[in-house]
Amino acid sequence: MKNSTIVDDRIGLETSGGRTARGRAAHPHFFSGFLTTPRVAAAGLLAVADVAAARYYQPLLKASLDPVVTGNGDRLRFESFSACGGVYARLDVLEDGLDGGEPGHGTTNVDVNNPLRLALSRITRADPMHLRVGPDELAVTTLDGPLVEKKVALPDRWLRGFAETQLIAAGMDLRAELPAAEAMRLLRGRAPDGWLMPSGRALRPTGRPAPGAVFLGGPDRLAALARVMRHATALRVYGPPVTAGCPPRSSAWEAVLPGMRLTLMLSPRAARGFSGEGAVLDDMGSAEDAELVSVLLAWEPRIEVADLADRSGMPTDRVRAALIRLGTDGRVGYDAAEAAHFHRELPFRAGRVERHNPRLRDARTLVEAGAVTVDGDGATVRSGDRVYLVSRTERSLGCTCRWWTEHRGGRGPCKHVLAMRMATRGDDE
């Protein structure tokens, strides 16, 4: 973000130093213009920054990391993760929220440390503010004088979090829409920790999972919504399908704002970060399919699977699997409000998340060591001095290892199941 200003009562933004539809550029401008509701946008940006600076689980230390900003042709997206990895935040500034500039295409990361936070919190209709964000630093100039903050590199954990959240969000549907007043009552009344069931235009506690229910684990993790709820018209709640007896699941909470949306996605429990969920390990497509689909993404604000299938000549299930693989490099996100993927490019090398995922890495080591013997729908996997049996369950592959016994597939497949899949398809990438 470069050369940001407030003129009258509007914020002007430009971005620089990132990736664009034409490749890397020294000074790509994703957006040069204004925001139609600057005070609301400032509150939304502060909420994204709140999440990036928070550690909701074992809050001993605080972090100050760079939210990612993406231009998608008709909107800007600001994204961050909490330091503990269990909360994902995204502010979508839509076309109606932009004035005087047309967003381009590209991704960079923008520093939101204490100087910018303080400047945003002081925004009024009369106070001017000048922002300048380059590849290595952020300069904020207000009536109090200039302030400079250095950028912080994005960690590997964020990349794994981006991979998991896009897949988890793709399995969610709208479960409830609360009026702003009811949403404020829910948040101010310290929403209960556990299952909630839609009841009219409200959410009521329920002691057990049932179809239509959503799980709210660690309600204090919704604190960032307080920044914007006085500007919101509604609060939408998304969750995956649940049945009786199912374990806690992730949920997403979306504040509907003038010209923008602020979404917080929560992992099932505060102690569980998205980077360890393992959902993407179940159905990643081949590298060849992913490469073909990546050529067709074109920075679209809405990626339609059916359209990609038609353009690539692949069936929709292979396109979805290819999108999952692209998501492991942070190149694809998912917007539950529009039920569609979107394109971004993070400053990571392709395949980085796979190299840093211990289960994938260990599975590949087992295959390369010849420790996997496939027999029909099952396999025998020797790991150290132990032998594990992989077999077909009702819905997927199961294993005799401790990981599968503890999680039953709820946090993705174990390394032995992954090793069998790699051995079966001759995976030598």
CATH 3.10.150.10 domain extents, the chain: 4-154
More confidently predicted of 10 and 330: 330
Mean pLDDT of the region 149-175 = 82
H/E stretch holding 180:
helix 180-188
- C-alpha to C-alpha distance for 169 and 344, rounded to whole angstroms: 16
Per residue in 78-136, pLDDT (tens digit) is 899 998 889 999 999 899 988 766 777 777 777 777 767 877 787 766 554 444 444 45
Q: Which residues fall within 8 angstroms of residue 341, CB to CB, at 6 or more apart?
A: 166, 170, 302, 303, 305, 323, 332, 333, 334, 335
Burial tier of 429 (Cβ tally within 10 Å: 0-12, 13-18, 19+)? exposed
What confidence score (pLDDT) does residue 169 get? 94
Residues 28, 14 contacting (CB under 8 angstroms): no
25-29, 169-173, 279-283, range with greatest mean pLDDT: 169-173
When pLDDT is cut at 50, 70 and 90, the band that residue 231 belongs to is very high
Per residue in 338-374, pLDDT (tens digit) is 999 998 877 655 555 555 567 777 888 898 899 999 9
Domain 158-276: which CATH number of 3.10.150, 3.30.930, 1.10.3470, 3.40.50: 3.10.150
When pLDDT is cut at 50, 70 and 90, the band that residue 2 belongs to is very low
What confidence score (pLDDT) does residue 238 get? 98
pLDDT at 33 over 80: no
Alpha helices in 301-351 (DSSP H): 305-312, 316-327
When pLDDT is cut at 50, 70 and 90, the band that residue 23 belongs to is low
Nearest to 366, CA basis, from 286, 290, 424: 424
Q: Which SS3 state, helix, strand or coil, does residue 172 take?
A: coil
Q: Which residues pair with 343 in a beta bridge?
A: 332
pLDDT at 250 over 70: yes
CATH 1.10.10 domain extents, the chain: 279-332+347-352
When pLDDT is cut at 50, 70 and 90, the band that residue 424 belongs to is confident
- Tell me yes or no: is domain 4-154 CATH 1.10.3720.10: no
The DSSP line for 156-168 is HHHHHHHHHHHHH
The pTM for the full model equals: 0.78
Nearest to 366, CA basis, from 347, 351, 379: 379
**CATH architecture of residue range(s) 279-332+347-352:** Orthogonal Bundle (1.10)
Residues 342, 301 contacting (CB under 8 angstroms): yes
Per residue in 178-210, pLDDT (tens digit) is 999 999 999 887 788 999 999 999 999 998 999
Residues 30, 76 contacting (CB under 8 angstroms): yes
Averaged pLDDT of the chain: 79
